[in-house]
Amino acid sequence: MSFAHRVAVLTFPGNNCEKETVRALQKSGLLAEIFLWNMPSEELKNFSAVVIPGGFSFEDRGRSGVLSAQEEIFIVLKEMAKLGVPILGICNGAQILVESGLILTDTTAKPALALTHNKRKDENGKILGTGYFHSWKNIVPLGKKTPFTNFPQSLRLPIAHGEGRFVFPKSLELFVEQQKLIVFQYVDEAGNADPHFPTNPNGSFKNAAGICSPSGNVVALMPHPERSSDGKAVFDSLAKYLLSHSSEKSNPEEKNACIPASAEITDVITFPPRVPKPLPPHDISFFVRLKITDNTQKSFENLLRKKGYENLLLTRRARWNFSFSTHYTIEELQNIAGKIITSHELVNLHKESVIVKIQNRFFTFQKGLGCVETCESLISENSFTVFALEDFFGEAKCAHLSHLFPDFHIDRVDYGIHWEFKNEKVESFVQNPLFASFVSEDIGY
């Protein structure tokens, strides 16, 4: 099969699957070529479809895909999406589509779903792992007509991601099911959608492996079809769709392979203004910062300066809050903090610095002296901490350190990212989904 439809493989810095994606499209008879994110945007309109490949765009700084989603080329891509142009995002490409709002948004154009950290727990709730996970998984199309799902068979495809869990606000879950927006689902060998790991490898809502926009022409798919012979069905489906749309004699049902949803997302949800919340009570906070350049911090800073915040200065730190089931004096907490720091579980002292907060007093760590009080304060009116609504990193760290230090009686560990803003008011950024997803994260102080 060969015809004149061109498919752009839209590539951002750090993507690494563009060549495999081009080859896979070509095997299905499509004229595929790499289109760089910084090429003239209007030239993208010369293509009949767009595929965003996997990889680690902008090194996954911040949430995966969030920086790529801010690029100007999305102005044109959103215009094309409204015209019904087929758009597929694979793995990191799926994350980019989600963060751009091309799948679902609320009335104010904030992304109304998230691809967040994998949830790998057994049936008893024990954490089996956090972060990046790769394996081969069975997925099945669920019957909704889109340019990428016009085939009946299940596929065996590889997954390779750290943030692959599709989550929605509770108020949207019924809408997602009614509109059949889940177009690919993880299943076991018998075809059953067991919601537990390992069938569901990341804890996605309803075992979702792929989600489409309400109009059906934009699809976010986490497994990699370009890495498996089975995945050819996805690209063959696109080829058939484009061919049917180019033929005057095509079947009318085939020409309408994308069926618009009966309801628009804007009828369903509007996120209320975000109000920073007090963090859960805790005894010790560790603030960890890179001594060398923090590329995530710089990338956010540069992006916001381009958007008009010319004098903005950012500081980014990892924040770990510890609570204990036993009451300790401040001197005892200083000793505990020193032992946790020297365990290297939270901080690499060769390349990171740490400031410790205990009972509203701040300490630095000095080798041979332990925690020494400092006048520096990190909690200001111009700062906030971003935390996940489901904090697997904190939960896992609590279990691990409780095993290492059973005498410390650690009750809870919470993990977040602490941002400080200079030369701009923090209120300018509280409502910005760049810093925190309205679906999977919140802001505290």
From the list 91, 212, 258, 398, the catalytic residue is 91
Let me know if 5 is a catalytic residue. no
Contact 127, 392 (CB under 8 A): yes
Q: If you write DSSP's letter for every residue of 352-405 in order, what string do you get?
A: EEEEEEETTEEEEEETTTEEEEES-----TTEEEEEESS-HHHHHHHHHHHHH-
**Run of H or E including 50:** strand 49-52
Indicate the burial class of 139 (C-beta count within 10 angstroms; 0-12, 13-18, 19 or more).
Answer: buried
Closest CA to 216 of 65, 53, 85: 85
SS3 content of the chain, % helix, strand, coil (to 5): 30, 30, 45
Q: What is the DSSP letter of 60?
A: G
Closest CA to 228 of 105, 137, 364, 320: 137
Identify the three-state secondary structure at position 6: strand
- What pairing do the DSSP bridges indicate for beta strands 6-11 and 31-36? parallel
From the list 18, 71, 226, 441, the catalytic residue is 226
Contact 60, 24 (CB under 8 A): no
Question: Could you tell me if residue 123 is left (phi over 0), alpha (psi between -120 and 50 degrees) or otherwise beta?
Answer: alpha
Contact 63, 99 (CB under 8 A): yes
Query: What does the alpha-carbon distance between residue 76 and residue 210 come to, in Å, rounded to a whole number?
Result: 23
Let me know if 375 is a catalytic residue. no
From the list 18, 224, 395, 420, the catalytic residue is 224
Query: What does the alpha-carbon distance between residue 246 and residue 250 come to, in Å, rounded to a whole number?
Result: 8
Identify the three-state secondary structure at position 342: helix
Query: What does the alpha-carbon distance between residue 395 and residue 412 come to, in Å, rounded to a whole number?
Result: 7
Query: What does the alpha-carbon distance between residue 290 and residue 316 come to, in Å, rounded to a whole number?
Result: 9
Let me know if 345 is a catalytic residue. no
CA dihedral 295, 297, 303, 308 (to 10 degrees): -150
Q: Within 28-184, where are the H helices?
A: 73-82, 92-100, 170-178
Residues annotated as catalytic (active site), given as ranges:
91, 224, 226
